[in-house]
């Protein structure tokens, strides 16, 4: 009996949070260890299914950096990063799309559907819902996201699982590889999402002494970037977080994807984890 009461109490503890997020859209950037480790993959799929089953609307935008690098290396294609963003070439864009839209996207979609959610995998070429122009080579800068289309999927009770490839400017253009953080941010603002969450392999944004910064403003981020505390892949992530909140998303979170059930911990309990960024 004691144990059953405990279960009910746990459920009731989540009620205020479920009420806050019911019917609302949450964009989740899925990346890092959570995308590789089998236990974390399972915990991610359960978290998303749980959100879905209680009436919250998740949208997944996934990365695939490590796997793309692995395949490019196996094929002897060179790859480099500038300011944390991959420089995509004519050779690597096709491979990036194969890995992202073929292998990774379908794995996530299948995992969610096997758990009882209704997920559908797309990239920017579907309905041309996400278009881009060149930033460096075939790494693109998003020029438009069709939020109306994504909202239609959500109205149908589907979970869009989005590979960060955008349509190019002509029928023969192979398309653009987009940094997944940037894509998650633009997608979140285009659909009026309530929150955007970036799963990563650190506890959040860390200061010079590797201590977690639990909340950050634009000014603080500018200073941390200027003195080099925020570097590499964290640059596009904080930029994406800031842009999302500037364009109307209530809050952005950068959280530790290596922690099991980090998404439920962040959204359905009072224990905020990671770094929170507000406008």
Q: Please report, as ranges, the residues that interact with ligand ADP according to CB under 6 A.
A: 31-32, 63, 65, 84, 181, 200-202, 205-206, 229-234, 237
The alpha-helical segments, DSSP class H, found in 132-216 are: 147-155, 180-190
- Closest approach, Cβ 228 to Mg ion, in A, equals 18
Between 98 and 231, name the residue whose CB sits nearer to ligand ADP.
231
Between 146 and 220, name the residue whose CB sits nearer to ligand ADP.
220
Look at phi and psi of residue 89 and say left if phi exceeds 0, alpha if psi is from -120 to 50, else beta: beta
The option from ligand ADP, Mg ion, none interacting with 231 (CB < 5 to 8 A, set by class) reads: ligand ADP
- Contact segment (CB under 5 A) with Mg ion among 8-16, 103-111, 189-197, 230-238 equals 230-238
- Please report whether residue 257 would count as binding Mg ion according to CB under 5 A: no
105 is in an annotated binding site: no
64 is in an annotated binding site: yes
63 is in an annotated binding site: no
65 is in an annotated binding site: yes
- Please report whether residue 233 would count as binding Mg ion according to CB under 5 A: yes
Instruction: Please enumerate in sequence order all residues whose Cβ is within 8 A of that of 75, keeping only pairs 6 or more positions apart, or say none.
Output: 95
From CA 175, how far away is CA 191, in angstroms rounded? 22
Quick count: other Cβ atoms within 10 Å of Cβ 155?
A: 9
Which residue number has the CB closest to ligand ADP? 233
Between 189 and 200, name the residue whose CB sits nearer to ligand ADP.
200
The option from Mg ion, ligand ADP, none interacting with 232 (CB < 5 to 8 A, set by class) reads: ligand ADP
| DSSP single-letter state for residue 34 | G
Q: How far is CA 98 from the centre of its chain?
A: 19
- Please report whether residue 164 would count as binding Mg ion according to CB under 5 A: no
Shortest CA distance to 160 belongs to which of 114, 115, 112? 112
- Closest approach, Cβ 4 to ligand ADP, in A, equals 39
- Closest approach, Cβ 84 to ligand ADP, in A, equals 6
From CA 256, how far away is CA 184, in angstroms rounded? 17
- Closest approach, Cβ 224 to Mg ion, in A, equals 17
Q: How far is CA 87 from the centre of its chain?
A: 20
From CA 243, how far away is CA 225, in angstroms rounded? 15
- Please report whether residue 64 would count as binding Mg ion according to CB under 5 A: no
Look at phi and psi of residue 192 and say left if phi exceeds 0, alpha if psi is from -120 to 50, else beta: left
- Closest approach, Cβ 236 to ligand ADP, in A, equals 7
What is the rounded (10 degree) CA torsion for 185, 144, 118, 156? 120
- Closest approach, Cβ 65 to Mg ion, in A, equals 6
From CA 191, how far away is CA 247, in angstroms rounded? 11
The option from Mg ion, ligand ADP, none interacting with 60 (CB < 5 to 8 A, set by class) reads: none
The option from Mg ion, ligand ADP, none interacting with 186 (CB < 5 to 8 A, set by class) reads: none
- Closest approach, Cβ 68 to ligand ADP, in A, equals 11
Secondary structure (3-state) at 40: helix
Shortest CA distance to 238 belongs to which of 179, 190, 166? 179
Query: Which residues are documented as binding site?
Result: 64-65, 86, 177
Q: Which residues bind Mg ion (CB under 5 A)?
A: 233
């Amino acid at each position: 009996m004691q144990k059953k009461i405990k279960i009910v109490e746990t459920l009731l503890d989540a009620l205020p949070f479920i009420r806050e997020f019911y019917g609302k859209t949450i964009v989740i950037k899925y990346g890092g260890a959570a995308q590789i480790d089998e236990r974390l993959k399972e915990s991610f799929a359960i978290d998303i299914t749980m959100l879905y089953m209680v009436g919250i609307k998740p949208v997944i935008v996934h990365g695939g950096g490590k796997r793309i690098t692995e395949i490019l290396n196996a094929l002897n294609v060179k790859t480099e990063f500038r300011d944390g963003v991959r420089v995509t070439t004519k050779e690597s864009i096709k491979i990036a799309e194969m890995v992202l839209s073929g292998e990774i996207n379908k794995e996530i979609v299948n995992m969610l559907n096997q758990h009882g959610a209704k997920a559908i995998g797309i990239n920017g070429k579907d309905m041309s819902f996400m278009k881009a122009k060149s930033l460096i080579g075939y790494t693109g800068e998003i020029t438009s996201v069709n939020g109306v289309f994504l909202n239609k999927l959500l109205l149908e009770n589907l979970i869009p699982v989005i590979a960060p490839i955008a349509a190019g400017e002509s029928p023969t253009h192979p398309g653009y590889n987009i940094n997944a953080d940037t894509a998650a941010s633009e997608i979140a603002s285009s659909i009026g999402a309530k929150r955007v969450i970036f799963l990563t392999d650190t506890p959040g944004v860390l200061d010079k002494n590797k201590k977690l910064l639990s909340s950050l403003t634009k000014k603080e981020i500018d200073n941390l970037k200027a003195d080099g505390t925020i570097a590499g892949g964290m640059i596009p992530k904080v930029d994406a977080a800031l842009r999302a909140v500037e364009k109307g998303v209530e809050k952005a979170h950068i959280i530790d994807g290596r922690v099991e059930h980090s998404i439920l911990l962040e959204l359905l309990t009072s224990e905020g984890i990671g770094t929170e960024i507000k406008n």
